[in-house]
Amino acid sequence: MDEFLKNNLNTQLAFLLRQLVSVDKTCLKKHPIPQKWSIHEHLAHLGRYQEIFLVRIAVILKGKTPYLERYKADDDPIFHDWCNRNSRAIIEKAILDRQTIIDLMTDLSKMQLTQIGVHPKLGRMNVEDWTNFFLLHEAHHIYAIFGLKHRFYITEN
């Protein structure tokens, strides 16, 4: 796996966790913007999305260029189960799953990294591209959490 990609897998979640240090924990489930996710729901989504990513990679590695439907959290009952967990449990599980992703990606051969899965909007992507897509998606939610934190939840240090 490309070192830049490996570094992003190693550091992006750590960056998110650092951002949460200054958030008043009583505010994690508050919805300052109606019909938008709270920080807690973003965390639940990111945790669940790591599981989805692992399943997608497993399907791609089986071959035959699979077509993978878009993931919609609101239609996923397991996402709602994640939302019912406390934030600390979500973070702990996310850290474990991230290590699983890193271990998997590190162990893949060059040939496995070139295997293709088809996304309905983005088209044909190899495993490295799916990983980049995963990280970009995650970064979008980290950005949303960063915005919520600074607009509504930051504590005085």
d(C-alpha 23, C-alpha 38), whole Å: 12
Which pLDDT band holds residue 102 (cuts at 50, 70, 90)?
Answer: very high
**pLDDT class of 22 with cuts at 50, 70, 90:** confident
Tokens 């967990």, residue located: 85
104-141 per-position pLDDT tens digit: 999 999 999 999 999 999 999 999 999 999 999 999 99
Model pTM score: 0.93
pLDDT tens-digit profile of 59-99? Answer: 999 989 999 999 999 999 999 999 999 999 999 999 999 99
Residue among 90, 66, 70, 37 nearest 137 (CA): 70
Residue 126: exposure state from Cβ atoms within 10 A (0-12, 13-18, ≥19)? middle
The alpha carbons of the chain give a radius of gyration, in whole angstroms, of: 16
Instruction: Answer for the pair 23, 150: CB distance below 8 angstroms, yes or no.
Output: no
The correct CATH number of 3-18+36-150 out of 1.10.10.10, 2.60.120.10, 3.90.1300.10, 1.20.120.450 is: 1.20.120.450
Q: Are 47 and 93 in contact (CB under 8 A)?
A: yes
101 within 8 A of 50, measured Cβ to Cβ: yes
Cα torsion for 19, 23, 28, 32, to the nearest 10°?
-100
> How confident is residue 154, by pLDDT bands cut at 50, 70 and 90?
low
